[in-house]
Amino acid sequence: MVDLGPVGDDSTPLAAAVAEQVNRMALDTRPFPRPRATRVFVVANQKGGVGKTTSTVNIAASMAQHGQRVLVVDLDPQGNASTALQIDHRQGTPGIYEAIVDGQPLSAVIQDCPDLKGLSVVPASIDLAGAEIELVSLVARESRLRKSLDAYLTEREEVGDRIDYVFIDCPPSLGLLTVNALVAGREMLIPIQCEYYALEGLGQLMHNVELIKSHLNPSLSVTTILLTMHDARTRLSAGVADEVRQYFGDLVLRTAVPRSVRISEAPSYQQTVMTYDPTSPGAMSYLEASREIAESKEAR
């Protein structure tokens, strides 16, 4: 049997070069350029399990690690984004429910992420599960999040402490919660899993976005497509990636996020992969995806 050496062996020139590049990227803490104005991203896809929450928390964490002021709005009743960012979201904890249903200001329900300076979170508790029904009878039911978010962002601007990025993590359905997010957002980030079923609902999603633009939020635009769970060893992943790039063109980030055990493990430790294992391929991919977003034409 041939001895291939220990995992991570850098005794060969190629392995050493790869290890050096990974370490250099991991240690690169230079701030990303700040956008000219606050960028409000809606992270949405009607299909579940495509990496919405994972992408939200890891891109937000990467942005915060590189000097940006970031706000994550957890709009999913499961509260997974709150969990990954170590934010208390037990039943009764003030959060997004109180902001959009009861009208409390966001500043009263925001919590700071303990691991990441510059990252704040509006948590979601199980109370949010009933919000879809309660919103039906409320005045301006589709724009309550926008009103609350705009007031908070204006408040921060006035005190000279502007938020650079807002990421709104949506539930996997087009109910009133997701509609509120689409009305509040200015840009849309769509994670697409590199599997065939992920493409099936894409046309319907784009149709719904056009409806929102036509009737409720003309300033909303799809600016970012992120390929997730990519497996370079399979023809299926390559085929889906090619089809998505052909359809969306330059909107698709060059960086695709690979399938990664580390990405899956991180939430069980109430962490993002950016803090759990910052030199892993998954963390490196989210770092590069974040850099692409920060350096895109929309930021300038």
Rounded CA-CA distance 223/206 in Å is: 12
Q: Which two tokens stand for residue 266?
A: 């991180």
Answer whether residue 26 shows pLDDT above 80. no
Q: What H or E segment, with its residue span, contains residue 236?
A: helix 235-248
Q: What H or E segment, with its residue span, contains residue 33?
A: none
Token match 């996020």: residue?
257
**CATH class of domain segment(s) 32-299:** alpha beta
pTM of the complete model: 0.90
Q: What H or E segment, with its residue span, contains residue 191?
A: strand 187-193
**Three-state secondary-structure class, residue 207:** helix
| Nearest to 88, CA basis, from 68, 66, 110, 71 | 110
Q: Average pLDDT in the 83-105 region?
A: 94
Give me the residue spans of the domains in the chain: 32-299
Q: What is the pLDDT of residue 187?
A: 98
pLDDT-derived band at 7, boundaries 50, 70, 90: very low
Q: What is the pLDDT of residue 200?
A: 77
Q: What is the pLDDT of residue 197?
A: 78
Rounded CA-CA distance 212/49 in Å is: 23
Q: What is the pLDDT of residue 12?
A: 54
Q: Distance of CA 155 to CAs 94, 151, 286, Å?
A: 20, 6, 30
